[in-house]
Amino acid sequence: MYTQSSVPAMRTVDIDGLPVGDGHPTRVMSVLNMSSNSGYKPSVYLDPAEAAEAIENTLVPAGADIVDVGLQSANPKYESKPVEKELDRLEEVAPLVDELDADVPLSLETRYAEVAEAAIGYGFDLINDVCGFADPEMKSVVEAHDMPVVKMASPPDLAAPGALKTMDELFEALQRDGFTDQTIIDPAFGGWYDGKEFADNWELFRRLREFRAFGRPMLTATNREDFLGDLAGRPETADQLAVSLAAATMEAERGSHIIRTHDTKETHDVVKVADALGDERTVRAETDPGPTVAELTDVTVREVERNQSLGETLAGETGDGATLTFLLGDLAEDEAASVRAVAEVVDVVLVEKSSGALYLGGSAAAVKVVADSLAEDGHRELAGTLRESLSRRV
């Protein structure tokens, strides 16, 4: 009997009918600040009617897939507002939901579970948690409503959103308290606090692909960040459009599924080109029948190690998995058994992720042996998908 796992290679998160994840276009999240303490004034709209007009007449026509509403700035140069202030401001701006005619999901940026629950009641479609479940009630609130949520890498401190420095700290923060089925991760670019320097953000950017190890959609927010402007000698926020667009291109290529921006039109054009001309990959979304396969490109040894740290290595050495690499999900039991069996006798790395998906990596010759073995066992669809990738890479 054909029995499938319920675990796709990459989870897709549905935001009010908008799918986000591998096999879907890169989405553009437009920033709409409804607080006066924003560092970028062109994105500020204090009146709900004016905000609705801006969304309908400017942001959506420019290409916004999601609009992220902010009630206070997460930048540490501004004093953090308590939950009562956010609730009061949310009540003032909530009429935006009813006044808006455009069919676009609305995100609410917050750090408080009480604010998130109120926003869900008002009709918001996504919670953008800039403190990464630091509020101990946040996870249970969004989970109870099956609400999509962005979890930003952050310490368990409601007054210090994103205040982390190293890659290991970022991974540990995202792993802390786990995820819901509808969680999108955010690796937390930016200055955030005195100890984090431009070099730390550059290192994070270079190693962005490592976050694919979570097997979850990823949001990145680097628009008009000083760590990009510094590279081109553009310290002023107003002069950082070009560097932001250069970064957005690479973010889409390195695994970002949502790019948060103040510059909607320009970023929309960038991700269209990046999606069309980026690395061609073998991807079958979980909406299609059969096993789901996502090819990962430009895999480093460190990314293999990240995948091993988030799962159980069933076969192979770390160095075997940095040439051609795939995430396999929704496998029938006999398909998974065949993959495990051939991995024991071929120089590949095979990791069973905590989600249940299989991470397979190896040289072109080794992957060909896996594909041939799968075909001999009668798993021609899965074998054909692996061979499709080989035909382009070899």
pLDDT per position as a tens digit, 175-191? 999 999 999 999 999 87
> Are 223 and 332 members of one domain?
no
> Are 66 and 207 members of one domain?
yes
Q: Is residue 287 part of a domain?
A: no
CA distance 30 to 25: 16
CA distance 181 to 11: 8
Query: Nearest 5 degrees, angle CA 151-CA 156-CA 162?
Result: 55
Higher-pLDDT residue of 147, 286: 147
Q: Is 57 exposed, middle or buried (0-12, 13-18, 19+ CB in 10 A)?
A: exposed
Q: Is residue 4 part of a domain?
A: no
> Are 176 and 124 members of one domain?
yes
Q: Provide the pLDDT confidence category of residue 286 given band limits of 50, 70 and 90.
A: low
Query: Of 228, 248, 277, which marks where a domain is finished?
Result: 277
> Are 245 and 178 members of one domain?
yes
> Are 261 and 319 members of one domain?
no
pLDDT in tens, 106-155: 999 999 999 999 999 999 999 999 999 999 999 999 999 999 999 999 99
> Are 330 and 364 members of one domain?
yes
Q: What pLDDT, on a 0 to 100 scale, did the predictor assign at position 321? A: 77
Q: Is residue 1 part of a domain?
A: no
Residue 321 belongs to domain spanning? 292-393
Does the pLDDT value for residue 38 go beyond 80? no
> Are 84 and 217 members of one domain?
yes
Q: Provide the pLDDT confidence category of residue 345 given band limits of 50, 70 and 90.
A: very high
Q: What pLDDT, on a 0 to 100 scale, did the predictor assign at position 194? A: 64
Q: What pLDDT, on a 0 to 100 scale, did the predictor assign at position 341? A: 97
Longest Cα–Cα distance of the chain, Å, equals 65
> Are 224 and 322 members of one domain?
no
Q: Look at the chain and report how many structural domains it folds into.
A: 2
> Are 86 and 140 members of one domain?
yes
Q: What pLDDT, on a 0 to 100 scale, did the predictor assign at position 380? A: 93
Query: Of 277, 303, 327, which marks where a domain is finished?
Result: 277
Q: What pLDDT, on a 0 to 100 scale, did the predictor assign at position 190? A: 86
Q: What percent of the chain has pLDDT over 90?
A: 73
Q: Is residue 189 part of a domain?
A: yes
> Are 234 and 336 members of one domain?
no
pLDDT in tens, 55-101: 999 999 999 999 999 998 877 777 788 999 999 999 999 999 999 99
Q: Is residue 194 part of a domain?
A: yes
Q: Is residue 3 part of a domain?
A: no
Does the pLDDT value for residue 290 go beyond 80? no
